[in-house]
Amino acid sequence: MSIQLSEKQKELKKKFIERRGHWPDNLERLLILDEAFFETYVKFTSIPWKSGVLDPKIKDLISIAINASSTHLYEPGLRTHVRNALQLGATKEEIMEVLELTSAIGMHTPALGVPILVEESEHSRKKTFEPLSEKQIQLKKRFIKEMGYWNEFRENLVALKEDYFEAYLDLLSFPWKNGVLEPKIKEFIYIAIDSQTTHLYELGLRAHVKRALKFGATMEEIMEVYELASAQGLQTVEMGASILFEELEKEPSAN
């Protein structure tokens, strides 16, 4: 099956490029296979790009986080948005900071796991906590100073494993101490990875929406982050249509 676009398909491709500023090669296969759905796809994914309130570079940085997240790791999308962000003036430091912020998603394992561990240990009388040691108190104070918040989960984490907690704090605070993005944008990155379809981490999402609003974000800006994240679901069709196209080429009689 060779790629030969009809006039209608050429027009749809042109419309996508006008709205998004680029053309991923795999979309040509989706366009060939189902131009009616492609038109719906373009309409949905273009909303935050054609009428949004965020700067285009920021949208690409957010999209880098969505595609680079360990719950997704979608290389075609990641490569596209890294390229676009660079073309829009993003620096390597900004993109590295997005990746560093996104890597903190791994900390949701202890965030979810420690409260369960503590609760079940208390039920079975396996563990009781002593008051925090002086070292643990200093780590707590450092966390509050560097990150600006604290909760019961972290109280239990530092009591359970202070060396792990210290390394966790170093990782979490690194982009906040050394980064170049403003705090509001950092929070947008967290909102994107917590709200994306492959994660949906309500506890973190609520905390970061609250902090983004505190840093001056508007409802419209946060809604736009959601719009960018929700487009992730359509990557099912992007990847699937590309594979289907390749397999149909191997089997000319397939329909």
Domain span at residue 223 reads: 7-91+180-250
Q: Is the same domain home to 234 and 208?
A: yes
Whether the CB-CB separation of 183 and 147 falls below 8 Å is answered with no
How far is 90 from 154, CA to CA, in rounded Å?
34
Tens digit of each residue's pLDDT (9 = 90 or more) over 10-50:
999 999 999 888 898 889 999 999 999 999 999 999 999 98
Tens digit of each residue's pLDDT (9 = 90 or more) over 112-170:
999 999 999 888 776 677 899 999 999 999 999 999 999 899 999 999 999 999 999 99
**Domain for residue 86, yes or no?**
yes
How far is 102 from 194, CA to CA, in rounded Å?
10
Predicted TM-score of the model (pTM)? 0.92
Q: Is the same domain home to 204 and 150?
A: no
What total of structural domains would you count in the chain? 2
pLDDT at 233 over 90: yes
Q: Is the same domain home to 31 and 87?
A: yes
User: What share of the chain in percent tops pLDDT 90?
Assistant: 85
pLDDT at 125: 72
Q: Is the same domain home to 37 and 87?
A: yes
